[in-house]
Amino acid sequence: MPVDRASPRGTASSPPANRSRRAPACRCSSAAATRLTPRSPPEARTGTLHGLNASGWAPSGLTPALLKSKGVARMPESGIHAVTVPGAVAGWEALRARLGTWPMSDLLAAAIFYADEGFPVSDVIAASWMGLTEKLAAEPDAAKTYLPDGRAPRAGELFRNPDLAGSLRLIARHGPAGFYGGRTADAIVAISREKGGTMTAADLSELEPEWVEPMSTTYRGWEVYELPPNTQGIAALMMLNLMEQFPLADYGFHGARALHVMIEAKKLAYADMLQYVGDLRFAGTPIPGMLDKAHAKERARLIDPASAARAVAPSVFDGLTTSAGGDTIYLSVIDKNGNIVSLIQSIYRGFGSAIVPPGTGFALQNRGALFTLDETHPNALAPRKRPLHTIIPAFMRKGDTRIGFGIMGAFNQAQAHAQFVANIVDYGLDIQQALEAGRFTKGTFTGADVLVEELVPQAARNELATLGHEVAAVPPRTGTFGYGQAVMSDGSGVHFGASDPRHDGAAIPEAPPVFGSLG
């Protein structure tokens, strides 16, 4: 999660007339500020961009040899062996302790209230929930928690989760120790043991998030930042380096030539990302070479302006050889001093593993599914190793203009980030327009297939087909292309927020009231 510490400056309550599409971004409400007595931030506002990687690791007893001995030939998509140690709670505390001003009890008060009292289920969430009924019904504790009355909640119905409220209260009172120790940890270890897993109390209690230096590239004068491996963020930066070799603005917004370049850049960048990205504590991802501008210029020559590639080979760096071959939320916020947080968290597939430790109210994720059992690969499963993560918060800036953004959607994310940046830099869109614009996505890693949103003109889609792209048109405003949010602060100190209409997010001028502290 990139975190930008800005110099203090005044804020405006509304955007200027020429930017009326952007709502003022989130800031602390006056009611909350009056009630609370925040401590001083532990770190000066230095203008520095920080990165925090709170992804969890594999249990210490989980190895490729163990899975192969059980007849498992590839990492399972579901089940206990796809579960890695949850990292979000440790990440919340690391962020709060270093850069926050409120105690954990106040931060979690509203979430506890809604878990206890219930919240109305939106249309979008209800539809997704219903589609996961069979998955939840297969796990008794998941069914008990998430299928009240034996079915998924319908749109408009209140959903309550008192067990989750209890788990959050333990965190509010005891910090991470209330999750990685005590009854919550006991429940996680017990369900793992019951299902043949290897997770131990030490795997939970010894997890530590990592403060990291964000990676960056420049794109036509803008600095663009992503978190380093084990995330896929490097693919977005590589795409931008490749796209920079072509005059996309001259090709026109939603022009077929521009889309062709971006689709081909996606293929090249993802080939390298899938070949080389792994946990940097275990594997040496060649980041400097992958982000080298000269390398991008050479690699861009592989993009045929008249034909779509069906397969691309990854690059070779530093003598390395090549081998053959959602359930996410994102938020961005600006505080009254102009500090920006870009944060994303996920349990991967819908309801993760669907394994709910009894009495906790939450499902364990299945992020371990992204490991490989090929022990020669940088992303090979190993004890206490973090898998490749699809979730990536992002940040871009030029001069005094700073934008925090993210677009959910598994392996769609990096390619959507590159399109968002191009919409702003090449086509002059504001952050709301940049999110609303039609997108493409290619969820496969070979072939010429590509999904293109019908917001892209028919003529452009037809021209892509003549170039050899196997275009499938998808109705607009669906989850196929991910869901994004963004905030921006410009040189005048005005703050803006934008929310993708493909989902049920919102740009909120002020945070909702904070419910009372826990007793």
User: pLDDT tens digits, the chain, 519 residues: what are they?
Assistant: 666 654 333 322 222 233 333 333 333 322 222 233 344 444 435 778 999 999 999 999 999 999 999 999 999 988 999 999 999 999 999 999 999 999 999 999 999 999 999 999 999 899 999 999 999 999 999 999 999 999 999 999 999 999 999 999 999 999 999 999 999 999 999 999 999 999 999 999 999 999 999 999 999 999 999 999 999 999 999 999 999 999 999 999 999 999 999 999 999 999 999 999 999 999 889 999 999 999 999 999 999 999 999 888 776 554 333 333 367 889 999 888 888 999 999 988 889 999 999 999 999 999 999 999 999 999 999 999 999 999 999 999 999 999 999 999 888 999 999 999 999 999 999 999 999 999 999 988 889 999 999 999 999 999 999 999 999 999 998 888 999 999 999 878 789 999 999 988 899 886 556 655 555
Q: Which helix (H) or strand (E) element contains residue 432?
A: helix 431-436
The residue among 393, 389, 471, 394 whose CA lies nearest residue 438 is 471
Distance from C-alpha of 330 to C-alpha of 392, rounded to nearest angstrom: 9
What does DSSP assign to residue 80? G
Q: What is the length of the chain?
A: 519
Who contacts 53 (Cβ-Cβ below 8 Å, separation ≥6)?
209, 210, 211, 212, 227, 228, 230, 231, 386
Q: Residue 212, SS3?
A: strand
Tokens coding 66: 């163990």
Contact 422, 262 (CB under 8 A): yes
Distance from C-alpha of 109 to C-alpha of 114, rounded to nearest angstrom: 9
Looking from the CA of 497 toward its CB, the CA atoms found within 13 Å total 26
| Pairing outcome for strands 222-226 and 215-219 | antiparallel
Distance from C-alpha of 243 to C-alpha of 237, rounded to nearest angstrom: 10
Looking from the CA of 242 toward its CB, the CA atoms found within 13 Å total 30
Return the active site residues. Answer: 328
CATH 1.10.246.130 in the chain is located at 217-327+390-499
CA angle 9, 12, 15 (to 5 degrees): 130
The residue among 53, 115, 240 whose CA lies nearest residue 518 is 115
The residue among 224, 235, 210 whose CA lies nearest residue 49 is 224
- What totals of helices (H) and strands (E) does the chain contain, helices first? 20, 16
Contact 40, 8 (CB under 8 A): no
Q: Residue 4, SS3?
A: strand
b/e sequence 447-471, b meaning 16+ C-beta within 10 Å: ebebbbbeebeeebbebbbebebeb
Contact 200, 215 (CB under 8 A): no
Q: Which helix (H) or strand (E) element contains residue 485?
A: strand 484-489
Who contacts 156 (Cβ-Cβ below 8 Å, separation ≥6)?
120, 121
Who contacts 194 (Cβ-Cβ below 8 Å, separation ≥6)?
none
Contact 440, 504 (CB under 8 A): no
53 to 32, 210, 212: CA distances (angstroms): 29, 5, 7
pLDDT at 7: 38
Q: Residue 395, SS3?
A: strand
pLDDT at 21: 36
Distance from C-alpha of 264 to C-alpha of 417, rounded to nearest angstrom: 15
Phi/psi of residue 37, nearest 5 degrees: -120, 85
CATH of 217-327+390-499, picked from 1.10.246.130, 3.40.309.10, 3.30.1360.120, 1.10.287.130, is 1.10.246.130
Identify each DSSP E strand in 3-96 by its residue range: 3-4, 49-53
Who contacts 105 (Cβ-Cβ below 8 Å, separation ≥6)?
172, 173, 517, 518
297 to 54, 245, 272, 366, 445: CA distances (angstroms): 34, 6, 15, 38, 22
Distance from C-alpha of 142 to C-alpha of 138, rounded to nearest angstrom: 8
| Pairing outcome for strands 470-474 and 449-453 | parallel
pLDDT at 347: 87
Distance from C-alpha of 285 to C-alpha of 279, rounded to nearest angstrom: 8
